[in-house]
């Protein structure tokens, strides 16, 4: 096993995962105010109306596909009656459709970013870097699917990539599993790792605020002093206001 493959298939993914996790925690603590979609819809709506839903619906389908393909062992799918053939058809065709939808949406969004004056001016450096890595990851992924699955003989990544990831998750790295994987899949994985490392420092953090709670809360929100404590953020350790022990007790039980 070469140093190169250890670097690429063990060190890089773990390093990116650490940056991803620690980065999110740090960003959330340091910069809640910057945690937003930074919508640009007030500037322009004609293109966004198409681009944004296409991209988002596509990417959510893509993510769902990855969960099924990578994280769920195929034996489990066999057990509920999804055999190799069915899976291959589904993954290839639905995957291709989702990829095309995503890429078309992304193309509209990037075209809009570049050509609509106010939107371009509101685009940060981080946005640009993010779009490069997002585009590369999506591009290599689609390319791999087209080259090996649609036009090629079909590559069974559920025998190499999927177990590699699952073993990584339980801290049993097996870089040798990745040695024989075709080039475009390898590139797809490397750019994806880098995208994850960038993630906490871009607007993509909005993904983790997907407002599912909205479905379950009452419409009108009241906030009382008792609930919000001393302010908008929890008091940092060591900075509790001077108080008697009784007070401290009752306030910590809030």
Partner 1 sequence: MKVMAQMSMVMNLDKCIGCHTCSVTCKQAWTNRSGVEYVWFNNVETRPGVGYPRTYEDQEKWRGGWTLNKRGRLKLRDGGRLHKLSRIFSNPKLPKIHDYYEPWTYDYDMLLNSPSGEHTPVATPKSLLTGKDMKISWSANWDDNLGGSLETMAQDPLLAKMSEEVKAEYEQAFMFYLPRICEHCLNPSCVASCPSGAMYKRQEDGIVLVDQDACRGWRMCISGCPYKKVYFNHRTGKAEKCTFCYPRIEVGLPTVCAETCVGRLRYIGLVLYDADAVAAAASVADEHELLDAQRNVLLDPNDPAVIEAARAGGIPEDWIESAQASPIWRLIREYKVALPLHPEYRTMPMVWYIPPLSPVVDVVTNSGNDGEDASVLFAAIDKLRIPIGYLAELFSAGDTAPVDLSLRKLAAMRSYMRGISLDNVRDESIAQAVGMSGAQMEEMYRLLAIAKYEERYVIPPAHAEQAHDLEEMGCSLDFEGGPGMGGAGPFGSSSGEPVPVAIENYNSLKSRQTADRPSTPGRVNLLNWDGNGKPRGLFPPEEEK
Binding site for ligand HEM (CB under 6 A): 37, 39-41, 48, 52, 56, 59, 109, 113, 204, 206-207, 210
115 sits in which H/E element: helix 84-115
Mark 4-43 as b/e (b = at least 16 C-beta within 10 Å).
eeeebbbebbeebeebbeebbeebeeeeeeeeeeeebeee
CB nearer ligand HEM, residue 150 or residue 207: 207
Q: Which x/- pattern over 43-72 shows residues binding partner 1 (rule: CB under 8 A)?
A: xxx--xx--xx-xxx---------------
- Is the separation of the CB atoms in 62 and 104 below 8 Å? no
Q: How many amino acids of this chain bind partner 1 (CB under 8 A)? A: 51
Give least dist CB 41 to ligand HEM, A. 4
Nearer Cβ to partner 1 (42/244) = 42
Distance in Å, CB of 32 to ligand HEM, minimum: 18
Q: Is 214 in the site for partner 1 (CB under 8 A)?
A: yes
Alpha-carbon torsion (212, 215, 216, 220), positive or negative: positive
Distance CA 228, CA 13 (A): 39
Question: Any binding-site annotation on 174?
Answer: no
151/222 with CB nearer partner 1? 222
Is 56 known as a binding-site position?
A: yes
Q: Specify the 3-state DSSP secondary structure of 155.
A: coil
């Amino acid at each position: 096993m070469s140093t190169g493959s250890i670097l690429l298939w063990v060190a890089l993914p773990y390093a990116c995962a650490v940056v991803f996790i620690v980065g999110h925690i740090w960003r959330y603590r340091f910069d809640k105010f910057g945690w937003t979609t930074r919508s640009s819809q007030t500037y322009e709506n004609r293109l966004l109306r198409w681009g944004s839903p296409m991209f988002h619906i596509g990417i959510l389908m893509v993510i769902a596909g990855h969960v099924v393909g990578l994280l769920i062992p195929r034996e489990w799918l066999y057990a509920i009656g999804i055999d190799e053939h069915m899976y291959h058809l589904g993954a290839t065709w639905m995957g291709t459709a989702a990829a095309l939808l995503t890429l078309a949406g992304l193309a509209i969004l990037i075209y809009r970013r570049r050509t609509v004056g106010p939107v371009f001016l509101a685009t940060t450096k981080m946005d640009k870097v993010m779009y490069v890595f997002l585009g590369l990851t999506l591009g290599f992924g689609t390319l791999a699917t087209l080259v090996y699955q649609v036009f090629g003989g079909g590559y069974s990544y559920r025998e190499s990539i999927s177990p590699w990831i699952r073993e990584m998750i339980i801290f049993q790295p097996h870089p040798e599993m990745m040695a024989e994987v075709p080039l475009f899949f390898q590139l797809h994985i490397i750019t994806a790792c880098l995208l994850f490392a960038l993630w906490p420092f871009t607007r993509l953090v909005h993904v983790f605020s997907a407002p599912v709670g909205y479905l379950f809360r009452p419409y009108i929100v009241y906030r009382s002093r008792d609930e919000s404590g001393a302010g908008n953020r929890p008091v940092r350790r060591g900075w509790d206001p001077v108080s008697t022990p009784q007070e401290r007790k009752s306030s910590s039980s809030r």
